[in-house]
Structures are given as structure tokens and as C-alpha cells.
Chain A
Amino acid sequence: MAELQLKSHRFRDEREADWRRLEALLARVEKGGARKLKRDELVEMPVLYRQALSSLSVARAISLDQELTAYLESLCTRAYFFVYGVRARPLERLADFLVRDLPKAVQALWRETLVSAALTVAGTISAYLLVRRDPDWFYSFIPGQLAEGREPTATTAFLKQTLYDRGDTHHSLATLATFLFTHNSQVALFAFALGFALCLPTAGLMLMNGCMLGAFLALFVSHGLGVQATGWLMIHGVTELSAVTLAGAAGFSIGWAVAFPGDKRRIDAATDAGRRAATVMGGVILMLFVAGLLEGFARQLITNDVARLSVAAATAVAWGLYYYGPRTRRPS
């Protein structure tokens, strides 16, 4: 048994330098992305990866050194994820997302969007009617801290003042905008995530959202401030309500796919719906950001009812055109 060198060991000796080289490149890539590599190193990468892969196949066949096969498996896996991994540049991806992916995903959810909108409207109408008949209902729809004194017992003068308040009593405008944005985004994400629980909680959330709207409107209408309150709400509300409606629609699409997967396997149906819904949610966050800006700045700075209502109408048209408007088809 005087064989001084095993074949498997010679095999390792001859290739080890290449593996080490791949390992070093990978370590740099994993730290800072593909930008860390020079041009020729980038070209070298797939070659080294395929070498390592073929080494792995050979090692599995001829070597009984566990260390070697385990090392090569981990090296190849890391290289695989790099070579076949995400490669689009962030800005390009963002442009793609805004121009193509987002409107397409939103259009695909038109049924869910209708349901979600219908639930919100139903909530609004029922809460409106209930509060008009018996103002005590107001307290069941609006939590105390949100009302901030805007209650059925408040005077018309006070209510009117809240509509045109510049908001600098509590917070500066920017702080308020930031707070509203983060708060609303969290609610929207919640509506989306709850869709997984077979749609019902999302439906509840949509109804509740509508109810709050209806209750507020009823309160102001009963004091003869209907138009003014609509302007106050809708200047940002068009954007915000559409965003929440879309979030609900995204939630519904997932819940529906889980409950009724159709021809697909349940897990595949959930995955397809989940990815599309995630795209929509990206748009929802964006819309809520805009809504936060409108609510924090525009609403406090513009105190003219007509101006407020025209801003609301303009946003409605803009979002509608962006999502559903005709667009020239780009060759893909």
C-alpha cells in the first residue's frame, strides 16, 4: 500500500487554486455586489463556476473525502446564486416597475378592486345612514384619539375651524405628513397581509374603513358642512382611499387563490397571486406617500373649498389614467 498520493488528492491539488480564486471573488461579491468586480473578473466568474461544478461531479464520483464534497457543494451553491441571481440595476428595475409592472398588476386585479371598492362604499353608506339617524353610532365607528373633539356634541364653529386649521397647534406640517404616511402604510400592509386569512379580515377592514368615512361625513353634513368636509377629506382622500382599496384588492387576490386555487396546485396559485399582489403593494406604498404629502402639506396650505375639490378631482383623473389609461405597447 505504498501509494504515496491518492488520485482524489491529486485531483484536489490540481484544481484547488481555481476553487480558492472563485471563493475569493465570491467573498467580494457577497459583500458589495457585482460592482466590486473588474471587467475581466466578471468574465472569469462563470468559467470558474462551471469548473467548480464539474469538479463537484467528479469529486462525488471518485472522492470519499467528505470535506471536499461538502466544500464544493457550498462553493457551487454560492456561485450558482450569483451567476443565476438578480442582476437588474436598481434604477432600471424601478423604471420598469413604474412603467409596466405596476399598471399591469393593478389592471389584472380589477375584479378584486371592484369588490374592495364596493365594500368601502357599502360601509360608508351604512355608517352615514346610521349616524344621521342616531348620532350615538358615531362613537362606535370612530376611536376617540382620531376624533380629536370632532364629535356629535361639538359646535359647528369648532368643526368648521378643524376643517381650515393649519395644524400648527400640535405638529408641524412635515411631521404630520410623515406620521400619516407611516401610519397609513402600516394599515395598508396589514389589509394586504390579512388577505391570506381567506379574505374575511380584509373585507372587515375595508368595511370599517368605509364606516369611518361615512361617520365623519354624516357628522359634518348634520352641521351643514358637507361640501367643505368633502373637500377637506378628498384632497388627499382620493389617493389614500384608492391606495387602501388596492391594498384590500391585493389581499383578496391572495386569499381567493388560497381558498379556490382552480386548476393549479394550491401552493402555486398562492405564489402567483402573492407576487402580483406584492407588485400592487409597492404601488400602494407609493400612493400613500403621495397621500401623506397631500394631507400634510396641501390640505393645510390650501383652504379654499373649490381649490381642494379640484385638486381631488385632478388626482382622481391622474391615478385613473396612470393605472387604466391606454398606453402604447412596448416591444418586450
Chain B
Amino acid sequence: MTVVDAARPGSRKGRRPWRRPQNDGWRELVTPEGVDLRLKIGAFSERCGAFIIDLFIMLAVLVAISLVLALVSWRTQWSFTGDVATILWLLGFFLLRNFYFIGFELRAGAATPGKRALGLRVAARDGGRLTANAVFARNALRELEIFLPASFLFARGLGVDAGLIALGAIWSGVFLLFPLFNQDRLRLGDLAAGTMVVKAPRRVLRPDLAGPAVGAAIGPTFTEAQLDAYGIKELHALEEVLRRADRRTVAQVADRIRKKIAWDGPLDLSDKAFLSAYYAALRARLETGLLFGRRKADKFDRPPTG
């Protein structure tokens, strides 16, 4: 079992793509070079958050434009500038409402400021280029998804009118909540344009936890039996604990590992130093196993022999 898994470079954590549950938010994207980039679909909550940020930015810009124009036409007191101001305001509002999203998504980053803040971007669903037509289509349908329900929200009526407005709100609400009912969290606009919104966060590369500094500074050594107590899954959990560096968690985890592997080395070693050393040693052992085609997925897996 383990050998088969290790032979597949694409399968991280020993999981095979076809065994992956369908609705886990990951999508395959195989580049022309044949590497699967494994994209994460942007969650509905994140997309709402991004939209709200964008909405606030648009509102702020609109208020700023209005203030500046009002100020200018008030200062100059010409009837001529008043006209120009009105035209600029109308055009500004129109451009903002319709081309804020289109303009930003056509740029190299393919994301509005809100999307960028949440690490999202727009991508073509087939992995190809994101065309201008697609960006236009996905944003033209925003009209239907956001502004139609909003107009029902602000509509007022009595009797039959009220009933009709309520029905209209429900009907248009379907479009608003559409992303919740499909796996790729597609809006109607995404559906019509052949796009999807994926996570593409900028990550900084943090230092390696098993760098030479760790290995050289402390000298505790572990026996093979002690290192065989855990597998890759636990290694990754340990990495997260060390990265987060929460004192209480580190102490608890160190305690548990000491007990499990029957640690009899120096007791004056701090929890953090102990865990770092154990992490480095465990990773060295598991990676050596990988190079020989043995992948120990977790602590229940057969220990790598040799």
C-alpha cells in the first residue's frame, strides 16, 4: 500500500486524488507542464467578505468624488462648473458601478482590492486564459445577483403589491444564494463566463524548522524505535504546533511525546528544544524512508524497515 502511494508524486499525505471526497474545496489544475497545482476554491464567506470590502471602497470613492465636486463647484460658483460636476458625478457613478470590478479583474492580478485582501483571484475554469469577455460577462450578471434582490429589499407596497414583492425577493434570492448550491461555489456570473474564484494567497517562505541551526545546537539522539512511533500525519501536526509556538500546547505535546516514546534523555532540555530536535530527527527518518519508496502515512502504518 505504502509503496504504491509513494510512487505517485502528486499524492501528498498519502491521499490519492480519486479517493478524495468530492466536496473538499480543492480542484485539480494540471499545467501544460503536467504538474497539478491543486487550487483551493474560494469559500462563500470569503467571497462575501471580499464583496463587502469592495462595496465599502466604492462607497468611499463615491463620497470622495461627491465631496470634491461639490467643493469645486461651490468654490468657483460658475453655473458652467456645476454642469460639469453633475456630468462627472453621473459618469463616475456609472463607471464605478459597472467597471470597478471589470477594470481590476482585467489586470494581471485578476482580483479587486477586496479579493486581493482575502487572497482570492478569478481564474478561467478550464485552466486557460482569463479573457476580457469572461470578465465582462461575470460582472454584467452581478446586476441580477446583487442589485435585483437589493431593489426588492427597498421596494414598498401594500396588499397584492407586498405579496408580489415578497415573491420577487424569494425568486431573486435564489440567484444571490446560488453559490451555496454547487461544489465550485460558482456565482451565476461565473457560470455564464466559465470562470471560478480560487485562493491564490501570497505566502512568505518561513525558515525551515529542521534547518542546520536546529540540528547543530542540540544533541539529543533518538533510537529507531522512538522515531517509528509516529508517521507523516503526526509530523505535520507537530510542525503546526512548532510554528504556532503556543507555550501551553508545546508543553502538552512535549509531555505526550515523551511518554509515548519513553524518553530517558536529559531532563533539563526545554520543551521547545525537545520538540524541535524530535521534529528534525523524525523528518530525517521519514524522508529517508520516502527516498527508498516507503511512505509511513501515520502512526498506525507499518514501520519502514531497514
Contact = CB atoms under 8 A, between A and B. Distances in A.
Interface of A: 1-9, 12, 16, 19-20, 27, 29-34, 50, 53, 56-57, 60-71, 73-78, 80-82, 84-87, 93, 97, 101, 171-172, 174-175, 178-179, 181-182, 185-186, 189-190, 192-194, 196-197, 254, 267, 270-271, 273-279, 281-282
A131 to B, nearest CB: 24
A189 B134 CA distance: 15
Given A53-B31, A74-B202, A85-B129, A271 B193 contact: yes
Given A77-B200, A271-B194, A53 B35 contact: yes
B68 interface: no
Contacts of A101: 133
B20 interface: no
Nearest to A75: B203
22 contacts: A1-B284, A6-B287, A7-B288, A53-B35, A60-B10, A62-B291, A65-B208, A66-B236, A77-B200, A86-B131, A178-B91, A182-B94, A185-B98, A189-B140, A193-B141, A196-B144, A197-B175, A271-B193, A274-B192, A275-B133, A277-B192, A278-B193
Given A6-B283, A29-B108, A73 B192 contact: no
Given A64-B287, A86-B106, A175 B87 contact: yes
Contacts of A196: 141, 144, 175, 188, 192
A35 to B, nearest CB: 10
A32 B136 CA distance: 21
A172 B210 contact: no
A5 B136 contact: no
B193 A81 contact: no
Contact of B192 (A67, A71, A80, A271): A271
B98 A189 contact: yes
B157 interface: no
Contact of B37 (A62, A77, A193): A77
B33 interface: yes
B9 A60 contact: yes
B93 interface: yes
Contact of A67 (B98, B208, B280): B208
Shortest 4 CB-CB contacts between residues of A and residues of B: A274-B192, A278-B137, A193-B144, A271-B194
Interface in B261-306: 280-281, 283-288, 290-291
Contact of A5 (B133, B204, B215): B215
B134 A74 contact: no
Contacts of A186: 94, 97, 143
Interface string B92-121: 011001100000001111100000000001
B110 A85 contact: yes
Contacts of B204: 71
A32 B281 CA distance: 45
B44 interface: no
A86 B97 CA distance: 23
B212 A193 contact: no
Contacts, number: 217
A6 to B, nearest CB: 5
Interface residues of B, number: 83
B90 A5 contact: no
Contacts of B12: 60, 69
Main secondary structure of the interface of A (DSSP, over half): helix
A197 B144 contact: yes
Interface of B: 9-10, 12, 29, 31-33, 35, 37-39, 83, 86-87, 90-91, 93-94, 97-98, 106-110, 121, 123, 125, 128-134, 136-137, 140-144, 148, 171, 175, 188, 191-194, 200-206, 208-212, 215-216, 221-222, 227, 232, 235-236, 239-240, 243, 280-281, 283-288, 290-291
B140 A281 contact: yes
Given A62-B287, A64-B236, A190-B144, 13 more contacts: A6-B210, A6-B283, A7-B287, A9-B208, A50-B33, A63-B287, A67-B205, A80-B29, A85-B108, A182-B90, A271-B193, A271-B194, A278-B193
Contact of A4 (B97, B106, B212, B235): B212
Contacts of A192: 140, 143
B236 A279 contact: no
Contacts of B33: 50, 53
Contacts of B83: 171-172, 174-175
Nearest to A97: B132
Given A82-B108, A193-B140, A193-B144, A175 B134 contact: no
A67 B202 contact: no
B136 A281 contact: yes
A190 B145 CA distance: 11
B280 A6 contact: yes
B78 to A, nearest CB: 12
B221 A1 contact: yes
Nearest to B87: A178
A19 B206 CA distance: 13
B200 A4 contact: no
Nearest to B122: A81
Contact of B200 (A74, A93, A274): A74
Contacts of B208: 9, 12, 65, 67-68
B131 A275 contact: yes
Contacts of A78: 200, 202
Contacts of B290: 61-62, 64
Contact of A65 (B109, B129, B210, B285): B210
Contact of B132 (A6, A62, A93): A93
